[in-house]
Copies of this chain bind each other. A is one copy, B any other.
Amino acid sequence: MLETSIKEGLQSTGRRMTRTRKAVLALLERTHQPLSASEIFAQLQEEQVAIDLVTVYRTVNVLKELGLVVQLDLYQEGQSRYELKEGRTHHHHIRCQICGRIVDLLLCPLKKLTKLIEKRTQFVVGDHTLEFTGFCPKCQ
């Protein structure tokens, strides 16, 4: 179970499993879209879970530090989104410009390109971001 294995991750860094952390984790687990802090806050409000927006921010930051969550900064959204790693490997996304739906692109085509860039620029390449926007089937 996810919650149990996460509890260990928390405790091994001197942290505690709390009511609010459980609620955020459970929400991310059952939602198949990357969520922003304000969306997490609004959804939990709706579900009668008492939580402050500040606590949402602190929670996603802890989950990121533990490596349980990825932070996404999509193009010109003006806010970060978070999604659980939980099994999934490195991948990218496409977002519909009309309805905002975000779809996983389960691929990363950049290994060769990274090599090329290292040769050309003499940089040691660390990370990259790659992200698409467009019109989803329903919004075309």
Contacts and interface: CB of A to CB of B under 8 A. Distances in A.
A93 to B, nearest CB: 10
Contacts of A140: 124
A117 B129 contact: no
Interface in A13-52: none
Nearest to A71: B76
A113 interface: yes
B133 A128 contact: yes
A136 interface: yes
Interface string A91-117: 000101100000101000100011001
A118 to B, nearest CB: 8
A122 interface: yes
23 contacts: A94-B117, A103-B123, A105-B117, A105-B121, A109-B109, A114-B132, A118-B134, A121-B136, A123-B134, A123-B135, A123-B136, A124-B134, A124-B135, A124-B140, A125-B133, A126-B132, A126-B135, A127-B132, A127-B133, A128-B131, A128-B133, A129-B131, A130-B130
